[in-house]
Amino acid sequence: MPQLSIWYFRTAILFLIAGICLGLYMSITHKFEATGAHAHINLLGWVTMAIFGIYYALNPVQAASRIARIQYMLYTLGILVMAPSLFLMLTGNPALEPVVAISSLVTFAGVLLFAVILFSRKA
Ligand code: HEM
């Protein structure tokens, strides 16, 4: 399997562990204000990253490219900043909204770069 896929799966499982911990915390404490952070950690961090990892496993030539590594770094950086700042914003720190906004755009840039990679693949 390409190294990039391994990195995607390793990063994804860490996000799933974090997302489940947050879900369990909300269930135990009956405090649900961070539901949005939980959902985004699981869906952007676990599900989407695992799909990226599968794609690169099926396309090892593209996985070895510089643009694919940049895509991983951009996307991962975006969620790494977005997840904790979204959690803090939803649990009573509205001042973090600009951080959430900027990191969301970084995450989206990672998604757009993945679209470029997909469409640049030669059949
Ligand atoms: C043991 C694992 C998990 C626990 C304990 C857990 C717990 C929770 C809790 C307590 C809520 C809030 C429900 C409410 O506001 O009424 C929630 C919402 C949500 N969870 Fe999880 N969750 C888990 C795993 C996952 C996974 C793996 C995903 C996605 C891949 C996920 C996606 C979502 C989404 C999208 C919502 C929002 C639903 C809505 O607002 O309608 N969860 N979860």
d(CA 32, CA 114): 32
Among 69, 66, 56, residue whose Cα is nearest residue 2: 56
CA of 35 to the centre of ligand 1 (A): 7
pLDDT of residue 39: 98
Pocket test of ligand 1: the residue of 24, 27, 35 to mutate, having most ligand atoms within 8 Å of its CB, is 35
- What is the distance of C-alpha 1 from the center of its chain? 21
The distance of Cα 49 from the centroid of its chain, to the nearest Å, equals 6
Ligand 1 midpoint to CA 59 (Å): 32
Query: Above 80 in pLDDT, residue 19?
Result: yes
Ligand 1 midpoint to CA 38 (Å) = 7
Q: Name the band, by pLDDT with cuts 50, 70 and 90, for residue 122.
A: confident
Between the CA of 50 and the centroid of ligand 1 the distance, in Å, is 18
Element spanning 120, H or E: helix 97-120
Query: Where are the domains positioned within the chain?
Result: 3-120
- Specify the amino acid at residue 3: Q
Token output for 10: 């390793």
pTM: 0.94
H helices of 2-96, where? 3-29, 35-40, 49-58, 60-63, 66-90
Provide residues with CB under 6 Å of ligand 1: 19-20, 23-24, 26-27, 32, 35, 38-39, 42-43, 46-47
Q: What is the pLDDT of residues 25-75, one digit of tens each?
A: 999 999 999 999 999 999 999 999 999 999 999 999 999 999 999 999 999
Question: 72-111 pLDDT, tens per residue?
Answer: 999 999 999 999 999 999 999 999 999 999 999 999 999 9
With contact defined as beta carbons under 8 Å apart, do 46 and 19 qualify? yes
Closest CA to 40 of 17, 14, 15: 15
